[in-house]
Copies of this chain bind each other. A is one copy, B any other.
Amino acid sequence: MFYQTIDILGTVAFAISGVLVAMEKRLDLFGVLIIAFVTAIGGGTLRDLLIGNTPVVWMRDLTYVLTIAITVVFGVIFVNQLKYFRKSLFLFDTIGIGLYTMLGIEKGLQAELSPIMCIALGTMTASFGGVLRDILCNEIPVIFRKEIYATACILGGASYFLFTKLPIESNYAYIAAISVVIVLRLLAVRFGIRLPNIYRTES
């Protein structure tokens, strides 16, 4: 119940982030719906495809599709009011990527993949919806350029495998890892921490 609530809040936040980017591009209603949808379920879909877990999750559980559709309807109606919810949405989004990272890691463990691959799957689950959103909107994905986002997922995912070595219950390790993702992302945004951009210094 607790996880499900977070999952839905994360889905809502991801879908809204899709609505916002789609609006900037002045897409039509169908375009907005698809971008919202891809942003919310793209990461998990890629993960499921890579490990061969098909039909992919959202095909077997209507909750996601309905949540996203309702979010888009509200998002489109209250498009001019969305700015007042920026902080809540950022919070949902941040909690969402923490949870999605661990969901991806769990799927990797179930598929008996190595820890590094599990962390990769977790990061993908949390961040590739946004990558697909940006590709569909004809932008270079923002997480490749300036946001600490995937890095928080990677470090949080790695922390999970450290925590499981400690003499604590696996549930606590799970929640601790989610917290690491969330705290890293909050700190990065609060203090404007970014990864270095890479380029040639001479021409």
Contact with B along A164-203 (1 / 0, CB 8 A): 0000000000000000000000000000001111111110
* Interface hit among A6-14, A88-96, A141-149: A141-149
| Interface residues as binary, A8-36 with B (CB distance below 8 Å gives 1, 0 otherwise) | 00000000000100111111111110110
For residue A150, CB closer than 8 A to chain B, the reply is yes
Q: A136 to B137, Cβ gap below 8 A?
A: no
Other-chain contact of A138, B59, B139, B143, B198 (Cβ < 8 Å): B139
Chain B residues positioned under 8 Å from A114 (CB to CB): 62
- Docked Cα-Cα span, A144 to B22, in Å, equals 9
A145 and B28 contact, Cβ closer than 8 Å, known pairs A22-B198, A50-B45, A65-B120? yes
Besides the known contacts A55-B111, A60-B113, 20 further A-B residue pairs in the complex with CB atoms under 8 A apart: A23-B198, A23-B200, A25-B145, A26-B145, A26-B199, A27-B140, A27-B144, A27-B145, A27-B198, A28-B144, A28-B146, A28-B194, A28-B196, A28-B197, A30-B195, A50-B54, A55-B113, A59-B117, A79-B201, A135-B135
